[in-house]
Amino acid sequence: MRRQRKVKIVATLGPASETHETIRALHEAGADVFRLNMSHGSRDEIRDKHRIIREIEAETGSPIAILADLQGPKLRLGTFAEGEITLGEGACFRLDLDPEPGDARRVCVPHPEIFAALVNGATLLINDGKVRLEVIESERDFAECVVRTGGVISDRKGVNVPDVVLPLAALSDKDRDDLEFACGLGIDWLALSFVQRPEDVEEARILVGDRAAIMAKIEKPAAVEQFERILAAADGIMVARGDLGVELPVQYVPPIQKRLVQRCRAAAKPVIVATQMLESMIESPVPTRAEVSDVAAAIYEGTDAVMLSAESAAGQYPIEAVRVMDDVAAHVESDPAYAEQIAASRSAPGSTTADAIVAAAREIAEKTEIKAICCFTQSGTTALLNARERPKVPIIALTSLQRTARRLCLTWGCHCVITEELDRFKQAVVNAVRAARSEGFAAESDQIVVTAGVPFNVPGSTNILRIAPCDERLIWPGGASGVQS
């Protein structure tokens, strides 16, 4: 299924998008990756969605990536005797470990780790930052606070601690169970919530092994500070602007987003920009102009993917939301200013043979009438390096491994095709030509660039580049009988 854009679209599944008919419609409208939110839905519901996605993949013949998003150690208040209270600015309010229902003077926060880390002057944000408290006295089982920004709080509202690194593992007991469940299903990407340090990613890596690629969600100030080390440890990054915008002043988020996207591009690792991209489409069939500009800005920055959350999971117009993203992406990428910005923000190539090969492939494609860059990849590294170059022409990633094709569905510009294992470069060229023609990227009179590594099936061995005509008779005079298709 060929897309008319290079940026990818991630759609979250939920109550509004749980049937075979709707999920297939989302895929046909433009969803390349489906997100399963492990914070919501039963195991049976998640298993059913996974099964449906794989059925649609088989029906359409196009690889589809599945991203399982772990809940993470979400901090929440306890309950209130009256269900909710109103805190006035300047009032004193106590947080403690007492499980009794709260009132206007105190409430339980059943997370002793918070109290162990709090210091006087620390900020506590409740209900997505609508209520702001400042700690004036803290011990290991309570914190006395003064209300700096008042408002209504109620049962189990979220608590954020923006200026303290909490001694919390990124994986709760629930997350560990969900991780095993998701990996057992056969998901392709696993997203870790509330990552604070690279050790959080490394802990998950031990549990996951090679069963899935790991995506670190950047949604805490500590993660921004530790970003380079987290990026090195993870396979991909999600810029989760929701909690990030709660824990940091909102004006900090756009430059952080731009910087993180650029660093991911330079590292050749996929990056998703997420949260509230088309929020109004939960209830409206059309987005606001500001939302469209937000999506467009992320695409101009060169992000690998943009994501829909509640818009496709619980909204009234899930398919329309995907179509809007698809239309915006196609239009932005057709803008001459887009190519200029992408070229201006391109990082210098590395010093390896593979780096030189992919840089040459991009330059050849830009200066000649090349229709596509076809790369053979087993681990996905060659495709990621090609995507790092952000070429103007499509990237056709050919692999014999289904799991590699699925993971690359998240990568900018990659059109994934599953092929047989090969052991001869001429076979690779012929297969690349057939893929380019059958998938609608080139005609018989066109040319493509083919990159591969010899010997075949050795990860990271890209060392050959060829400009190939799309007429098989010119590749293999006398015919290509016996060549695998």
Kindly report the CATH number assigned to the domain that includes residue 393.
3.40.1380.20
Are 234 and 369 found together in one domain?
Answer: no
pLDDT of residue 426: 85
CA angle 382, 385, 388 (to 5 degrees): 155
Are 413 and 277 found together in one domain?
Answer: no
For 250, other C-beta atoms within 10 Å of its C-beta total 11
Cα–Cα distances (Å) from 18 to 21, 67, 163, 310, in that order, read 8, 15, 39, 13
pLDDT of residue 476: 63
What's the burial of 44, exposed, middle or buried (CB within 10 Å: 0-12/13-18/19+)?
Answer: exposed
The CA distance from 454 to 8, in Å, is 30
Q: Is the pLDDT of residue 484 over 90?
A: no
| % residues pLDDT > 70 (the chain) | 97
**Residue 3: inside a domain, yes or no?**
no
**Residue 61: inside a domain, yes or no?**
yes
Are 191 and 263 found together in one domain?
Answer: yes
Catalytic residue among 76, 176, 323, 403: 76
Active site residue 217: yes
Catalytic residue among 5, 106, 197, 275: 275
| C-alpha 375, offset from chain centre | 23
Task: Taking residues 310-338, report their average pLDDT.
Answer: 97
72 φ, ψ (degrees, to nearest 5): 80, 175
**Residue 348: inside a domain, yes or no?**
no
Cis peptide before 455 (omega within 30 of 0): yes
Are 318 and 360 found together in one domain?
Answer: no
Active site residue 220: no
**Residue 484: inside a domain, yes or no?**
no
pLDDT of residue 96: 96
Which of 325, 343, 361 terminates a domain? The answer is 343
For residue 160, list its beta bridge partners. Answer: 125
If we measure between CA atoms, which residue out of 27, 68, 69, 63 comes closest to residue 403? 63
Cα–Cα distances (Å) from 330 to 6, 7, 23, 292, in that order, read 8, 9, 21, 13
Catalytic residue among 6, 217, 220, 407: 217
The CA distance from 399 to 107, in Å, is 55
Are 379 and 400 found together in one domain?
Answer: yes
**Residue 2: inside a domain, yes or no?**
no
What CATH number did the domain enclosing 309 receive?
Answer: 3.20.20.60
Q: Report the range out of 53-62, 122-131, 341-350 with the highest average pLDDT.
A: 53-62
The CA distance from 253 to 240, in Å, is 10
Which of 160, 195, 225 terminates a domain? The answer is 160
Task: Taking residues 36-41, report their average pLDDT.
Answer: 92
Task: Taking residues 266-294, report their average pLDDT.
Answer: 97
pLDDT digits (tens, 9 = 90+) for 235-254: 999 999 988 998 899 999 99
**Residue 79: inside a domain, yes or no?**
no
What CATH number did the domain enclosing 129 receive?
Answer: 2.40.33.10
Q: Is the pLDDT of residue 454 over 90?
A: no
Domain that holds residue 130: 84-160
If we measure between CA atoms, which residue out of 299, 388, 408 comes closest to residue 396? 408
Are 148 and 216 found together in one domain?
Answer: no
For 154, other C-beta atoms within 10 Å of its C-beta total 15
Are 53 and 196 found together in one domain?
Answer: yes
| Average pLDDT of the chain, as a whole number | 93
The CA distance from 357 to 363, in Å, is 10
Which of 96, 125, 160 terminates a domain? The answer is 160
Q: Is the pLDDT of residue 457 over 80?
A: no
**Residue 183: inside a domain, yes or no?**
yes
Q: Is the pLDDT of residue 13 over 80?
A: yes
Catalytic residue among 35, 106, 220, 362: 35
The CA distance from 471 to 452, in Å, is 19
Are 321 and 283 found together in one domain?
Answer: yes
Are 247 and 123 found together in one domain?
Answer: no
**Count of domains for the chain:** 3
Are 426 and 303 found together in one domain?
Answer: no
For 165, other C-beta atoms within 10 Å of its C-beta total 15
Phi-psi domain of 91 (left: phi exceeds 0; alpha: psi -120 through 50; beta: other) = beta
Are 89 and 36 found together in one domain?
Answer: no
**Residue 1: inside a domain, yes or no?**
no
pLDDT of residue 313: 97
Active site residue 94: no
Are 61 and 185 found together in one domain?
Answer: yes
pLDDT band at 151 (very low <50, low <70, confident <90, very high): very high
pLDDT band at 421 (very low <50, low <70, confident <90, very high): confident
Window from 81-95, 138-152, 157-171 with minimum mean pLDDT:
157-171
Q: Is the pLDDT of residue 218 over 90?
A: yes
Active site residue 269: no
